[in-house]
Amino acid sequence: MLLMQILLNGILLGGLYGLMALGMGLVWGVLNIVNLAHGAFIMMGGYAVYFLYTSAGIDPFAALPIAMLAMFLFGFAVQYGILNFIVRSALLNTLLITFGFDVVLTYVAQLLFSADLRTINPPYAGSNFGVLGLTVPVVRLGVFGVALGLALGLWLLLRMTRLGRAIRATAQNLIAARLYGVDPRLLYAVTFGLGAALAGAAGGLFGLVSQISPYVGATLTAKSFVIAIIGGLQNPLGAILGGIFIGIAEATSALYLSPTLVDVISFGLLVVILVTRPASSFRAA
Amino acid sequence: MTKSLPGLLLAASIAVVLATVPWWNNAVLLQFGINAVQLAVMAQAWNIIGGYTGSPSFGNSTFYGLGTYGTAITMVQFHQSFGLGLGVGALLAVIVALLVGIPILRLRGPYFAIATLGLAATVGAIFANLPIAGENIGLVLPLTRDEPLFYELSLGVLVLVTLTVLFIDRSRFGLGLIAIREDEDAAAVTGVNTTLFKVTALAISAFFTALVGGIHAYWITFVDPSSSFDPRLNVNMVIMAVFGGPGTVLGPVVGAFILSTISEVLASSISTAASLLFGIVIVLAVLFMPKGLVDLGYGFRRLGWRYFTETVRQYRL
């Protein structure tokens, strides 16, 4: 029974992990930018929802769209105003410049919000219900549902809309997409904005199940990266599956090995997966 | 060779001047000097695998950590000399580089980057659980307050690694590495044994990184898993190398000295906003000199202010 409960916890948390990776995978797959500030974007989303709840009294789940819109505009501006000027240079440069963003955002967050750990605590935070002898926390179930919904939404957006087609076409071949009338500067900015918006949503949800501080960014970036690779960059639902996989792996390893090894487990799994999978499947990047 | 002779002579004379720093009677400067020189060694060692070979390692702290622990375990647990400890640390790092390099160097680009990052975390966790390495607490080394010795040793390693890079830059081996960086498949087709070349590059890089780790451990007289396998170390050495100019002989050293100085000045004058300004410096550096300081130096002489518009035009969407 303990194992079943652990598995359930892992799956519920894994949905959120998947959502974190979703934005990073989208930006990586389409723009070929590995955004090292992704974790910092998640952190910003977390603070946005936290203050919308504590200062304006908006329910955290209702505050998500507001935070997402704000993060979309922020991401759009960052890509349009800065990253577009450097996006075609070597991968190391985009790694470095986004690392620079991470440093700046972490510092600004520390200045504005102090280093305190914060948790978003709506009145229903402690409530849960039992199913088949398992305890299901309401908040975590909600978080899982929203994460799944957003992944599905992104999948539909990419499959069914003109914007989605333009994004997919650009990911495949920038020059060909340009010939068919896609404005790459605008499209890159919109895509980066979407990635930031997803990070914002993940941040709000993260604040509900864990603690936000200015320094959570780096760990979350690494985790998003790992899951984006495991889940693959092609399909949003793959990211959710990758997240669930890591969620389960972490939960079970915390139970059977040692809680201190949790972060190493996901990295170790990643190295094993990377090395054992045939190199050809990674050529696309 | 003749074309770059003035630059090399200048570098050599700067090295001679730097070697006299311990006699300037400035303890703060010496302290700063040891740190800056050690970072320069790491940036230069990274340059071999990251700059010349183009494999963006974010896990060189693995080798640094192996150097610190190799030295510490040899000295503390086996009561051997510092010199032997350095050797053990370097040997350990080279062995790990060879063993791990073969599978990991098959990965490319960001996949290689994250695998090396994972390697550093994993090796760190292993040492945090090894009784002989003092587990989470670490080891305390015998105290030797001989800062000039540590400074000169670090500087010696810096000269050695720079000469190695100079040799690589001029050799067939280096040409092979550059060919791999520019197009690995094409390099393989033209007869470069890519696996052998890349693993050798990683092993050389590991060797020097481990040496500096060992010196650092004896200087600080303390090793523990979190500082020995610090992920920030990886980022720092990459930033310094890329800031100066990856794939050039002197770029990473210049980058390390300049960035060390900037962050030291910032930390002492406006300590609160130091990291903020450091972040801004990185962003601006990537935007305006994406090919590094060395390329800026050459390009600016040729094009003047137009250098900036030219590079932006080259990389903008």
Tell the residue number behind the tokens 């945090």, with chain if given: B128
Tell the residue number behind the tokens 């070979």, with chain if given: B53
CB contact under 8 A, B238 and A90: no
* Neighbouring C-beta atoms of residue A178, cutoff 10 Å: 15
CB pairs under 8 A between A and B: 135
Assess whether B274 and B251 both reside in one domain: no
Looking at residue A118, the DSSP 8-state letter turns out to be B
User: Average model confidence (pLDDT) for chain A?
Assistant: 85
Please report residues of B whose CB lies closer than 8 A to that of A283: 108
Q: What is the dihedral of CA B297, B299, B300, B306, to 10 degrees?
A: -150
Assess whether B99 and B227 both reside in one domain: yes
d(CA B76, CA B85): 10
Q: Is residue B265 part of a domain?
A: no
Q: Is residue A245 part of a domain?
A: no
pLDDT, tens digit (0-9, with 9 covering 90-100), for B158-210: 999 999 999 999 999 999 999 999 888 999 999 889 999 999 999 999 999 99
CB contact under 8 A, A264 and B122: yes
CA B164 → CA A125, B59, B92, distances in Å?
Answer: 60, 21, 20
Assess whether B281 and B187 both reside in one domain: no
Which mean pLDDT values do the consecutive 10-residue runs of chain B (317 residues) have? 68 83 83 92 95 88 94 90 92 94 82 80 82 82 84 93 93 93 90 92 96 93 86 83 88 91 81 76 84 83 82 79
* CB-based contact, A74 to chain B, within 8 Å: no
Query: E strands within chain A?
Result: 128-131, 134-137
Assess whether B281 and B163 both reside in one domain: no
Q: Is residue B261 part of a domain?
A: no
CB contact under 8 A, A95 and B113: yes
Identify whether the C-beta of residue A74 lies closer than 8 Å to the C-beta of residue B246. no
pLDDT recorded at residue B166: 93
Query: How many domains does the structure of chain A reveal?
Result: 1
pLDDT at A2 over 90: no
Q: How confident is the model at residue A20 (pLDDT cuts 50, 70, 90)?
A: very high
CB contact under 8 A, B286 and A222: no
What would you report as the CA-atom Rg of chain A, rounded to the nearest whole angstrom? 19
pLDDT, tens digit (0-9, with 9 covering 90-100), for B258-294: 988 888 888 777 766 777 887 888 888 888 888 888 8
Tokens of A23: 């934005």
> Of B62, B259, B277, B286, which to mutate for an interface test with A (greatest number of A Cβ within 10 Å)?
B286
* CB-based contact, A96 to chain B, within 8 Å: yes
Alpha carbon of B121: minimum distance to chain A alpha carbons (Å): 6
* CB-based contact, B166 to chain A, within 8 Å: no
Rounded to two decimals, what is the model's pTM?
Answer: 0.81
Instruction: Tell me how far the alpha carbon of residue B5 is from its chain's centroid.
Output: 24
Alpha carbon of B30: minimum distance to chain A alpha carbons (Å): 28
d(CA A93, CA A101): 12
DSSP string, B220-272: HTEE-HHHHT-HHHHHHHHHHHHHH-TTSSSHHHHHHHHHHHHHHHHHHHSGG
Q: State the ipTM, two decimals.
A: 0.78
For residue A78, give the chain B residue with the closest CA: B283
Q: Is residue B300 part of a domain?
A: yes
Q: Is residue B263 part of a domain?
A: no
Query: How many domains does the structure of chain B reveal?
Result: 2
pLDDT recorded at residue A1: 75
Q: How confident is the model at residue A210 (pLDDT cuts 50, 70, 90)?
A: confident
For residue B274, give the chain A residue with the closest CA: A107
Assess whether B198 and B162 both reside in one domain: yes
| Residue B307 structural domain | 270-317
Q: Is residue A246 part of a domain?
A: no
> Of A86, A191, A221, which to mutate for an interface test with B (greatest number of B Cβ within 10 Å)?
A86
Residue A33, helix vs strand vs coil: coil
| Residue A103 structural domain | 16-217
Tell the residue number behind the tokens 């998947």, with chain if given: A18
Q: How confident is the model at residue A93 (pLDDT cuts 50, 70, 90)?
A: confident
SS3 content of chain B, % helix, strand, coil (to 5): 80, 0, 20
Assess whether B42 and B126 both reside in one domain: yes
pLDDT at A282 over 60: no
